[in-house]
């Protein structure tokens, strides 16, 4: 009954172009923010942080990044895992080289370095499109993983070939390493996610976003009305890679703590993030959240239901998860190519007329 736009008059263009034009949406957003920042940090424990919240926050950043590239700019990328690895290794090198610098700066710089690498691998996008570009980014994925495996400088010549996050703090609060408290790691990731989501939303609702979408929908027409395709595509690669790099840095430094590149950032990671974007909804910031939440929650729910409640063997449940994700991808592609975000949009449109649909 609250979900109405009637009576909520917009008297300026600023009001009309805000992120949540409907009052109820706006208040819901404030409530979510208040809970995320004001309540969860006080009740969080290690299990919730590591099993659900941290992976959700970090994958949501990666999904927003990939969504900018695939959903908004229409450039298919299978190199997400590789770019996350760039973020992770950049962060590692920075953390070990400059131990006194704040983690905030390390993570942002890691994102910046990934953005540069992303632009380099985005250059072919000017000449090739669609499947061919996907294959080119796939090359980036394999090349980057190979690079971090084979060049010992990247893992500081450690015997195992792994990278381990040393203990670092922000304003005296330990963020990385085994002694980091759950609430601190959670808050650290949450701040980055909020920042990334707001920036992504601001970019996609303004000129930059319209350029990206114009390129996505019809690149020839976009060029004829004055979009420089090279610039538009490369900014998409840069912004997308920045977010993906930030998520890679957080994934390594805050969440895992120790990383072996082929395992943590292999091709499967690229697909996982791509699935999040497809299931969540291409071209929607909310969709990136929904997709990340869905694919992080699914294994946990399956494990609780399958192993703990029904008593099935663990391996069966693990395989079942692959089957379900695969099936869902196909279902979404056929039934709702715009993903969970579109389902949510349809639900909202229905809700607007409820209880008197005409």
| Coil, strand or helix at 339 | helix
Encoded one letter per residue, x for contact with other proteins by CB under 8 A and - for no contact, window 16-45 reads -x----------------------------
| Coil, strand or helix at 21 | coil
Tokens matching residue 296 = 């992080």
Residues whose CB falls within 8 Å of the CB of residue 118, separated by 6 or more in sequence, listed in order:
83, 237, 238, 240, 241, 242, 244, 245
11 in contact with other proteins (CB under 8 A): no
Q: Which of 22, 116, 191, 199 binds other proteins (CB under 8 A)?
A: 199
> At closest approach, how far in Å is the CB of 324 from other proteins?
29
Instruction: Identify residues 230-249 at the interface with other proteins (CB under 8 A).
Output: 235, 239
Among 349, 217, 350, which residue's Cα sits nearest to residue 282?
A: 217
Q: How many CA atoms does the CB half-sphere of 172 hold within 13 Å?
A: 0
Q: Which of 226, 311, 355, 357 binds other proteins (CB under 8 A)?
A: 226
> At closest approach, how far in Å is the CB of 223 from other proteins?
5
> At closest approach, how far in Å is the CB of 140 from other proteins?
23
d(CA 204, CA 117): 22
349 in contact with other proteins (CB under 8 A): no
Q: How many CB atoms lie within 10 A of CB 330?
A: 9
d(CA 272, CA 81): 9
End-to-end CA distance of the chain: 16
Cβ burial, residue 139 (10 Å; 0-12/13-18/19+): middle
**Stretch binding other proteins (CB under 8 A), from 25-33, 164-172, 200-208, 254-262:** 200-208
**Stretch binding other proteins (CB under 8 A), from 13-21, 91-99, 183-191, 327-335:** 13-21
Q: Which of 6, 159, 225, 310 binds other proteins (CB under 8 A)?
A: 225
Q: Which of 156, 228, 268, 314 binds other proteins (CB under 8 A)?
A: 228
Q: How many CA atoms does the CB half-sphere of 275 hold within 13 Å?
A: 20
Task: Give the residue ranges of DSSP H helices in the chain.
Answer: 13-16, 23-34, 40-43, 46-48, 54-67, 80-97, 103-122, 130-150, 182-205, 207-217, 219-224, 229-250, 261-264, 267-280, 285-302, 314-335, 339-353
180 in contact with other proteins (CB under 8 A): no
283 in contact with other proteins (CB under 8 A): yes
- Specify the residue, 14 or 43, whose C-beta has the smaller distance to other proteins: 14
- Specify the residue, 193 or 293, whose C-beta has the smaller distance to other proteins: 193
**Stretch binding other proteins (CB under 8 A), from 137-145, 169-177, 207-215, 265-273:** 207-215
14 in contact with other proteins (CB under 8 A): yes
**Stretch binding other proteins (CB under 8 A), from 163-171, 181-189, 220-228, 298-306:** 220-228
**Stretch binding other proteins (CB under 8 A), from 125-133, 161-169, 204-212, 257-265:** 204-212
- Specify the residue, 14 or 323, whose C-beta has the smaller distance to other proteins: 14
- Specify the residue, 210 or 303, whose C-beta has the smaller distance to other proteins: 210
Q: Which of 207, 330, 335, 356 binds other proteins (CB under 8 A)?
A: 207
Tokens matching residue 268 = 């499967």
Tokens matching residue 94 = 């920075």
Tokens matching residue 176 = 């990385």
Q: Which of 1, 6, 43, 224 binds other proteins (CB under 8 A)?
A: 224
Q: CB–CB of 64/292 below 8 Å?
A: no
> At closest approach, how far in Å is the CB of 221 from other proteins?
4
> At closest approach, how far in Å is the CB of 119 from other proteins?
13
Residues that bind other proteins (CB under 8 A): 12-14, 17, 199, 202-203, 205-208, 210-211, 213-214, 216-218, 220-229, 235, 239, 283
């Amino acid at each position: 009954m609250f979900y109405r736009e009637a009576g909520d008059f917009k008297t300026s263009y600023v009001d009309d172009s805000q992120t949540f034009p409907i009052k109820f949406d706006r208040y819901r957003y404030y409530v979510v923010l208040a809970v995320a920042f004001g309540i969860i940090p006080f009740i969080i424990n290690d299990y919730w942080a590591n099993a659900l919240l941290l992976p959700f926050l970090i994958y949501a950043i990666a999904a927003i990044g990939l969504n900018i590239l695939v959903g908004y700019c229409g450039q298919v990328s299978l190199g997400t895992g590789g770019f996350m690895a760039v973020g992770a290794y950049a962060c590692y090198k920075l953390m070990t080289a400059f131990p006194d610098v704040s983690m905030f700066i390390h993570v942002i710089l890691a994102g910046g370095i990934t953005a540069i690498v992303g632009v380099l691998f985005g250059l072919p996008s000017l000449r090739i499109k669609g499947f061919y570009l996907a294959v080119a980014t796939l090359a980036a994925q394999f090349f980057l993983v190979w690079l971090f495996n084979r060049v010992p400088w990247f893992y500081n010549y450690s015997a195992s070939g792994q990278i381990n996050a040393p203990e670092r703090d922000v304003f005296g609060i330990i963020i990385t390493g085994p002694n980091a408290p759950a609430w601190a790691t959670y808050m650290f990731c949450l701040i980055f996610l909020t920042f990334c989501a707001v920036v992504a939303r601001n970019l996609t609702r303004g000129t930059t976003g319209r350029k990206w979408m114009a390129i996505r929908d019809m690149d020839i027409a976009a060029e004829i009305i004055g979009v420089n395709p090279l610039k538009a595509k490369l900014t998409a690669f840069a912004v997308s890679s920045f977010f993906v790099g930030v998520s890679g840095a957080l994934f390594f430094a805050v969440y895992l703590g120790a990383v072996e590149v082929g395992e943590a950032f292999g091709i499967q990671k690229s697909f996982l993030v791509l699935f999040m974007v497809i299931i969540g909804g291409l071209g929607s910031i909310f969709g990136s959240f929904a997709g990340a939440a869905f694919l992080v929650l699914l294994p946990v729910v399956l494990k609780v239901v399958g192993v703990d409640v029904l008593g099935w063997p663990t391996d069966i449940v693990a395989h079942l998860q692959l089957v379900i994700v695969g099936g869902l991808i196909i279902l979404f592609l056929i039934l709702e190519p715009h993903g969970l975000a579109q389902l949510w949009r349809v639900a909202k449109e229905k809700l607007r007329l409820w209880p008197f649909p005409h």
